[in-house]
Structure 1
Amino acid sequence: MSAIGGVLAVVAALVAWRVSQRLLAVEQERDERRNAEAVREQAELVYVLGAMLPDRNDDERWAIALYNGSTKPVFDVLVESQRLDGSATNAPLKLGALPPGRFVVPGHPKYHWGNLLDLDRTDEQVDYLIKGKGTTMIQRVRFCDAARREWELENGTRLIPSAPDGP
């Protein structure tokens, strides 16, 4: 009788061990998902769109709108864009940092791009190019989050971890 009780105790211990292993695996997967989400959290709050400033002259009418919805700046921002009709590539826009907020950078006849304008501090009208040919204006955006992880936005909106440039 005690032998049967011993065997049953061993079987119960094995079943309990197996169940605890499965629960541990589920917990680890959940922790990994949460960590991956935390890594992407700041980068997911950044996007870039083509824009038009209708109140400006032709040389400064086309612009790049940048949005950083996080509470921390992003760094080493590089925006590659093209003309609306796709006929030419624009000079790249390079920013050392993009603070939290909504911004626009108008074109400039001499320097390609003007100053970063905070849309919360100006009444300037901005028309975002979010349909038709306007969706192709922004080609690629690269930046580093506050933890210096590199990210890339394809077409200004699709987030992927940035791959290093080739040789």
Structure 2
Amino acid sequence: MPTDRDNMLQIRVSTPAAAAFVAVVLLFATGGPVSEVAYGTNATASAQAQTAARGSSYLATHLYFGTGRHNGEPPITDDQFMKFVADVITPRFPSGLTVQQGRGQWRDKTGSINREISYELTVLYPAREAHTHDPDIEYIRRLYCAMYGLESVGRADVKAQADF
């Protein structure tokens, strides 16, 4: 009958660099620290399983707003964007949202690469309410483009477990 020792992967290393390489490979292959692998435990997987059980099923919608404009128009200012958030987005998502400023780039319809200050807006809502929030999200995207003469507002929807 095979034993745990028979099923163990045996690796011989001859230098400290090789040992470090093996440790990194084991870390990525197992999803946990080498000490957990060596002792047959994986606290990372255990913690992930416990976390997955928490919270409710939500969607996180991320919208990516650029501020660069075409035809020599000045960029959209922070004040203009925050007014858009207050007047248009907050009434549709009064329970909460997050706005982060960043630097983005994208290729426009002419093939030019545009680099600009951008904003990422994240809203979380119960997955069962996705059909009621989708029209609001699409309205926000269309209105921003129409107001500022832009081509698009990026959108990414991600399944999430959330607890508040």
Q: Into which bin does the TM-score normalised by the smaller protein fall?
A: under 0.3
Structure number having the greater strand percentage: 1
Higher relative contact order (CA 8 A, sep 6+): 2
Larger radius of gyration: 1
Relative to the length of structure 2, the TM-score reads: 0.25
Relative to the length of structure 1, the TM-score reads: 0.25
Structure number having the greater helix percentage: 2
